[in-house]
Every structure is written in C-alpha cells, then in structure tokens.
Amino acid sequence: MDMIKAIFVDRDGTVNVDKGYVYKPEDFELIPGVIEALKKLTDQGILTYIVTNQSGIARGYYTEQQFDALTRYMLCVFEREAIKIEKVLYCPHHVNGTIPKYTKSCLCRKPGTKLIEKVMTENNFNIGEVVLVGDKNSDIEAGRRLNMKTYLVKTGYGKHEEASTKATFVTENLNSAVEHILKLG
C-alpha cells in the first residue's frame, strides 16, 4: 500500500455527535477522541478533508450561511488545537428538498463521489494514498465506488450499520480508525 497522504472524514456522527441537522454552534459537540485523532493526522502531515451531506439546507431547516457559520466555528475549535483541516466539502442538495435551488439529485451527495473526485484530481492523489472514514454506509459506498480503503466507525449510525457494511475496516471511533491508518503507512 502507498503511504497515506489524505483522509476524507464524514462530519455528523464521525466528528461530532449527530443530533439531527446540527447547524448551531451550541449544538456542536465533538465525539470523544476526535481532537486526538485529528491532531495525529496533522502531526503526521496527512491532509484532512471533511466531506458532509447537508440536506438540511435543501429541506429549509437552515441556510448555507448558517452552515458556513458552524463550519467557521468548528474550524476555529480545531485551529486552537493546532489541527489543520484542508477543506470542508459539502453537498446541500436533496431530491426531497423544499428549497428549489437545492432540490435535485446530484453526484456530490454521498454515496456520490463528485466532491471527493475533485479533490483527488486537484491534488493528483491515487487511490492507494487516500482513505475514507464515516459512520454510514452511504459514506462507505462513496469510498468503495472509488476503490479506496474505507472505515466504518461505530459512533453515530455506525453501530446500526455495522452488520450490513461493506467497509474495508470497522473501528470503534475516529481515533481508532486513525491509529489503524497510521499503522498501514
């Protein structure tokens, strides 16, 4: 296996507690071990991308501006811990949306791969240099469609999806996934 250069990490249920359409800073709660995991990635020079479906925008539960405000808050929390996030990639679309601008089927909503493919192309990553970590089989399927190694974490929905997952690996949480990734290369 090639040396891991980048990791794509789901947000809700993997990085933060999935409380259902989290968009307010006061509702944003990190899952235990996430700071340690992301710090290890930063310290090892592994580029970290957060990739998240945000259908709450299409459904009218919150706006893109509210999502952006929460993203800035999250990044500030990470910066205080000397954690570097390369980019937060998100899909605001959903076929059952109520906001016409965002109501559609798209290729960027996981398990679609458009957001991840764009980063891989821009950075010339090959499949052996990247991994994906998430708590839903839709996350895992996005990685599988690109033939990358995938990790289902048992936080968020992961404990319910474990029995039916096709993930390469199943781990307790992001921190245990990162420890395994670092051992791989």
Say how far apart CA 148 and CA 127 lie, in whole Å: 5
Between CA 112 and CA 95, with CA 168 as vertex, the angle to 5 degrees is 20
Cis check: omega of the bond before 25, within 30 degrees of 0: no
CB-CB neighbours of 63 under 10 Å: 14
Task: For residue 138, report the phi and psi dihedrals to the nearest 5 degrees.
Answer: -65, -35
Catalytic residue set? 10, 12
